[in-house]
Amino acid sequence: EVHIVESGGGLVQPGGSLRLSCAASGFPFDDYYIGWFRQAPGKEREGVSCISGSDGTTYYIDSLKGRFTISSDNAKNTVYLQMNRLKPEDTAVYYCAAGVPSLDYSGTPYFLRDYEFDYWGQGTQVTVSS
């Protein structure tokens, strides 16, 4: 049975930080990519970041590079998303997902494609507000 559980969300002021956790089980973690997605009210779900369970390679959307950092602890089958200098527009439900997405010509996974991820958690709310 696959279980993916996000935690660490909450209310934070603009400029603050949060660290989200994604605890995964029930699938071969080392053979999957683990991605973070987010969905704001009234908006479509968007990819944020991804990490390879096999070698730890990380991927980010350009707009978040330098503020968000994804990392993993394979021994615990857990992935983290460190979010710094948070902005109100970062407010969303953040989801963790596992899958084996297709790779582009350079070997980069199509981590923006939520439909390429198989297993999803319930999400954790992040609210950035003063």
Residue pair 37/46 in contact (Cβ under 8 Å)? The answer is yes
Kindly report the average pLDDT of the chain as a whole number.
95
pLDDT score at 117: 94
pLDDT tens column, 56-104: 999 999 888 799 999 999 999 999 999 999 999 999 999 999 999 999 9
Distance CA(27)–CA(77), nearest Å, equals: 10
pLDDT score at 70: 96
Listed residue (116, 105, 109, 113) closest to 44, CA to CA: 113
Beta strands 124-128 and 10-12: pairing type? parallel
